Structure 1
Amino acid sequence: METSSGTTGGTIQASLGGRYATALFGLAEQQGALTAVESSLRTLSAAIAESDDLAALVKSPLIGRDAAGRALGALVPVLDLDPLTANFLGVLAQNRRLGDLPAIIRAFRDLAARSRGETSAEVVSAHPLDDLQVDALRQQLRHRVGREVAIDLKVDPTLLGGLIVRIGSQMIDSSIKTRLNTLAHAMKG
């Protein structure tokens, strides 16, 4: 699919979540709401990561369409989500596709990054990174891939230290957890 900004979503469209993200991206682009939708999805993603109840709502196939729609509708003003994202969540609830929401959010971020001429990278760290660390990482990734990089930060304390960086199909794992696991495996012989 060719969007008006000239980006192609070929591999993104291959999955069901990718098709939903592409549809949302197209609507947001038509309505001039890309920034608002991207911001709302970022807020929603953080809320899912921080709330076990919200994560369960999104993942559970046992929660009915109407109940899920009402619960998400109640969250819209609390999270200050834009109207297009709010409507989109209602569609996902009615179509019983809330379980695909994390993949849809990732695919939307990729599409938005591509439309700005950026590459998106998912960075998982053991501890939250400060602004200077994020800027330094962005510079290194920009040098590596040859263009601007939009960074999606996540925290996973089980890594102990270091980072895991995913850019497309590439993964750079410098986490202490992986190093320790590699060492333990090598010692077992």
Structure 2
Amino acid sequence: METSGGIRASLAGRYASALFELARDERQIEAVASSLRAIRETLETSPDLRAVTTSPLIDRAEAHKAVAATAAALKLDGTTTNFLGVLARNGRLRQLPEVIRLFSRLASDHRGETTAEVVSARPLDDDQVAALKQQLGARVGRDINIDARVDPSILGGIVVRLGSQMIDASIRTKLNTLATAMKG
């Protein structure tokens, strides 16, 4: 797997690569991936955890205590718990969402899957995710892992990023295109 140019080019990418290599060496990729999914879901639903990871007013020691308590409450694996501690001590918790995204991509590549980043105005149900996996898998000839997130600002429809390709079928884009066409 080639990670030196693309993923490692950013700070979050270097952290994600280091975590992935550690998880791979310890044969803990799935455990770490599961823990990171739990953290991502908690970041999306907990304003307190988001504040800990983004506020410059919270010092590193307090951030470390907060992420340690969160890790214990979520019953995260030891590798992820230690990694969160490193991010907190280094003042890099702000990078956590991007680290999670990039780790997921590395883990998918390792499993021979391709990750599709999917943005929708509302959460997709299981049937929609399964149909999307099937359609995208047929398109690229590989197993697809869906990294879904919700962004109400797209108004409706869906935006899919698959590698360097982007399929934008959002209502926001269609309205912007229509507005541009009406201007002349």
Question: What are the ranges of 5 or more consecutive residues in structure 2 without an aligned counterpart?
Answer: none
Offset, 1:36: 0.7
Offset, 1:140: 1.2
Q: Note the alpha carbon deviations across 1:162-185, whole angstroms, 9 max, x for none.
A: 101112232211011111122122
Whole-Å Cα distance in 1 between the matches of residues 179 and 88 of structure 2? 45
Structure 1 residue corresponding to 2:2, chosen from 3, 8, 15:
8
Q: Secondary structure at the match of 1:87?
A: helix
Whole-Å Cα distance in 2 between the matches of residues 134 and 9 of structure 1? 28
Whole-Å Cα distance in 1 between the matches of residues 178 and 47 of structure 2? 34
Q: Secondary structure at the match of 1:68?
A: helix
Q: Note the alpha carbon deviations across 1:96-127, whole angstroms, 9 max, x for none.
A: 11111111111101110000011111101111
Aligned to 1:106: 101
Structure 1 residue corresponding to 2:89, chosen from 80, 88, 94:
94
Using structure 2 for the length normalisation, give the TM-score.
Answer: 0.94
Offset, 1:62: 2.4
User: Within 5 Å, which residues of 2 pair with 1:84-163?
Assistant: 84-163=79-158
* Number of corresponding residues: 183
The one-letter code sitting in structure 2 at the alignment partner of 1:38 is A
Question: What are the ranges of 5 or more consecutive residues in structure 1 without an aligned counterpart?
Answer: 1-6
Whole-Å Cα distance in 2 between the matches of residues 40 and 133 of structure 1? 24
- The two structures, once aligned, show a CA RMSD in angstroms of 1.2
Q: Secondary structure at the match of 2:122?
A: coil
- Residues 100 and 183 of structure 1: is their aligned pair in 2 closer, same or farther, counting only changes over 3 Å? same
Spell out structure 1 runs of 4+ moving beyond 3 A: none
The one-letter code sitting in structure 2 at the alignment partner of 1:8 is E
